[in-house]
Amino acid sequence: MREEIDSIAATAARLIVEDGMEWGPAKHQALADLDLPSRTPLPDNAQLEVAVRAHIDIFCPETHHEAMLLLLGKAIGAMRQMVDHRPYLTGALWRGLATARSDIYIQLFCDDAKMAEIDLINQGVPFETTEISGFRGEPVVALTTLQRIGSWTWPTAIHWILYDADDLRGALKPGKGRRDGLADRGNLAAVEQLLATFQSKGDA
């Protein structure tokens, strides 16, 4: 059983890092790629995070570092655009695990979600509106735009995910199953500090 979970995690990590798949779909794709029964237990996100870090460290530490710098810079700019709506970075980029194929996920905890949309319109930012599952499983609205980053020949998606201001209560507790005490999201100051950490690694 343990070997199967490790194999699923390793295969999913490759799909996440090399193909830019989201974590949930990558687990299920790994199950299919390994030709395992559909009822086979899947690794949790903490186990998958270990596998993703290992894959990055072995196969692409330099390109990962470059991608983190570029994506964090873009995320900080996007968060400053929407600073009035309490932006918090989440997902692989916040975890320090993003690659050049990763999307940027920014959660907005709004006093008035409609004003967030109006702010983007007033700034001339085109976006598409979709409904996704929120971090508590409830349906929430996501505003998605595509932007070019650096010399990459493909666009990167930025997703602004709209929550009520009250949803921020309890959202900054350590993420489920995390041993490092890190919350599942970070505010602008925390993201700026994360960028500074990656910049210092490059200078070392």
Task: Please tell me whether residues 191 and 112 are part of one structural domain.
Answer: yes
Task: Please tell me whether residues 179 and 115 are part of one structural domain.
Answer: yes
Residue 124 main-chain phi, psi, to 5 deg: 75, 25
Task: Please tell me whether residues 45 and 99 are part of one structural domain.
Answer: no
Domain tally for the chain? 2
Task: Please tell me whether residues 55 and 66 are part of one structural domain.
Answer: no
Task: Please tell me whether residues 184 and 147 are part of one structural domain.
Answer: yes
Distance CA 20, CA 59 (A): 15
Task: Please tell me whether residues 94 and 192 are part of one structural domain.
Answer: yes
Task: Please tell me whether residues 101 and 81 are part of one structural domain.
Answer: yes
Distance CA 158, CA 139 (A): 18
Tens digit of each residue's pLDDT (9 = 90 or more) over 116-142:
999 999 999 999 999 999 988 899 999
Closest by Cα among 130, 137, 138, 139 to 103: 130
Q: Using CB atoms within 10 A of its CB, is residue 124 exposed (0-12), middle (13-18) or buried (19+)?
A: exposed
Round the average pLDDT of the chain to a whole number and report it: 92
Task: Please tell me whether residues 67 and 133 are part of one structural domain.
Answer: yes
Task: Please tell me whether residues 76 and 38 are part of one structural domain.
Answer: no
Contact, 120 vs 174, CB < 8 A? no
User: What is the CATH number for 135?
Assistant: 3.30.460.10
Task: Please tell me whether residues 128 and 38 are part of one structural domain.
Answer: no
Contact, 116 vs 82, CB < 8 A? yes
Strand partners, 87: 108
**What is the helix (H) or strand (E) element at residue 159, kind and residue range?**
strand 155-164
Give the pTM. Answer: 0.91
Which of 59, 74, 93 lies at the terminal end of a domain, its last residue?
A: 59
Q: What pLDDT score was predicted for residue 178?
A: 63
Which of 59, 80, 102 lies at the terminal end of a domain, its last residue?
A: 59
Task: Please tell me whether residues 132 and 79 are part of one structural domain.
Answer: yes
How do 139-148 and 155-164 pair as beta strands? antiparallel
Tens digit of each residue's pLDDT (9 = 90 or more) over 138-157:
999 999 999 999 899 999 99
Which of 29, 59, 89 lies at the terminal end of a domain, its last residue?
A: 59
Distance CA 129, CA 135 (A): 18
Range of the domain at 124: 62-203
Q: How far is C-alpha 177 from the chain's CA centre?
A: 17
Distance CA 108, CA 93 (A): 16
Task: Please tell me whether residues 73 and 158 are part of one structural domain.
Answer: yes
